[in-house]
Amino acid sequence: MKPLDTLGRPLQALRISVTDRCNFRCGYCMPRDAFGPDHPFLAREALLSFEEITRLARIFTGLGVAKVRLTGGEPLLRRELPVLVKMLAEVPGLEDLALTTNGVLLPELAADLRAAGLRRLTVSLDTLRPDRFQTLSDTDLSLSRVLAGLDAARAAGFTTLKLNCVLQRGVNEDEILDLAGFAREQGHTLRFIEFMDVGTTNGWRLASVVPATEIHQLLNARWPLEPLPSPAGSVASEWRYRDGRGEVGLIASVTAPFCRGCDRARLSADGHLYTCLFASEGLDLKGFLRSGHGDADLAALLAAQWKRRDDRYSELRRADTPGLPKIEMSHIGG
């Protein structure tokens, strides 16, 4: 039973947020004035347990999900994360298990994550300038720790990493070539992501978005590019450097939305299911789980929810949408 939603889209990918906490306060995601010391983060008992997450992953896999990405908040803050990775790596039918992190805790955790069965890692990197890093991530932790994290990941066996860079006009757009040059040298695949209007606290304005076409022009002028075929469900347009020095991705979520191919569900750390990054409401799976329902009931609930899905926020985005109620990125998992 593999459900299709109202636009004929299958359910193939699941993002699982394992915590709503983070050791950074990136302005585009968890600005400090909205996520200060009094912010009501989830209590431990409100989080899904590893057993609950794995059970749900197994049920989702039965409905067609083959790809799972762990995210957050900062997923490496979740205690014993490698234990969860090991449990998920053993779920039959789950072909692709990945994780997105800000990288700061990789020196401590990369080897354990690898040993637990993680094969794909994405590290967020918006700047190579230490002072700018401090401003953008609004933390006392330093850029050198993230760079040490990249080295630790390589030493642990993650030879090719994905690097995510969110560009903001007038903030870090002047580093496009430096970041691309760094990724080329290191053998990593950089993906530039357009700044999105996720949540309601990040002060998003269309004028702050650096369009993917502009990034492409700049890169192509320096290192000529050729397109790669996009795999089904891919959100990035992927390009190869003609000189053979690797690949680069452009995620044009704002200027060229890809809702028609969106096959992702999202599970928040407190067990709510969201069928769009810009959703305002989730389905309380944790309540359902904890009230003793069996796997068949859960599968039927998930399938019914997916069949109802008509989300295509990015296609419908208008100048007035930033004011609508939306869930925050750190809750839903980026």
Binding site for ligand SF4 (CB under 6 A): 22, 24-26, 29-30, 72-74, 102, 124, 257-259, 262, 276-278, 311-314, 330
124 binding ligand SAM? (CB under 6 A): yes
Which does residue 237 bind out of ligand SAM, ligand SF4, none, counting CB within 5 to 8 angstroms by kind?
none
Residues 42, 43, 44, 47, CA torsion sign:
negative
Q: 166 and 193 in contact (C-beta within 8 Å)? A: yes
DSSP readout, 255-268? TS--GGG--EEEE-
Estimate the crossing angle of helix 106-116 against helix 143-156, to 10 degrees: 30
- For residues 236 and 240, give the distance between their C-alpha atoms in angstroms, rounded to a whole number: 13
Which does residue 67 bind out of ligand SF4, ligand SAM, none, counting CB within 5 to 8 angstroms by kind?
none
Classify strands 225-227 and 96-101 as parallel, antiparallel or unpaired. unpaired
298 binding ligand SAM? (CB under 6 A): no
268 binding ligand SAM? (CB under 6 A): no
CB within 8 Å of 110: residues ≥ 6 apart: 121, 149, 152, 153, 155, 156, 158
Task: Convert residues 15-54 into a mask of x (bound to ligand SAM by CB under 6 A) and - (unbound).
Answer: -------x-----xx-------------------------
168 binding ligand SAM? (CB under 6 A): no
Among the candidate windows 51-59, 151-159, 188-196, 209-217, which touches ligand SAM by CB under 6 A?
188-196
Among the candidate windows 31-39, 190-198, 270-278, 304-312, which touches ligand SAM by CB under 6 A?
190-198
Q: 299 and 63 in contact (C-beta within 8 Å)? A: yes
Which does residue 259 bind out of ligand SF4, ligand SAM, none, counting CB within 5 to 8 angstroms by kind?
ligand SF4
Q: 147 and 106 in contact (C-beta within 8 Å)? A: no
* Positions in the binding site for ligand SAM (CB under 6 A): 22, 28-29, 71-72, 74, 100-102, 124, 164, 166, 193, 195-196, 198, 202, 329-330, 334
